[in-house]
Amino acid sequence: MIVPDLARAFWRKSSRSADTNCVEVAFVGWRKSSYSNGTQADCVEVAFGSEAVAVRDSKNASGPTLVFPASGWAAFLGSRR
């Protein structure tokens, strides 16, 4: 199992938190391909961590996410160039 590195994530505390017993949510920035424009619906988005890369369908942002080791993602991109 790949555990994402959240060291660079932006943590956000709920505005309804009244004490120290609250849940914080990490935001990992998702990026869409520079080849996508605003009218294209068929896109994937990626989020980068130091050890893993997550990939999701931009049309279903709350759906399943694929997580790959960063080295595997780099090898995949290298084979596409």
pLDDT digits (tens, 9 = 90+) for 22-38: 655 555 678 887 777 66
Residue 1 pLDDT greater than 50, yes or no:
no
Q: What's residue 51's pLDDT?
A: 77
Residue 78 pLDDT greater than 70, yes or no:
yes
Q: β-pairing, 31-32 with 24-27?
A: unpaired
CA-angle at 8, arms to 78 and 45, nearest 5°: 45
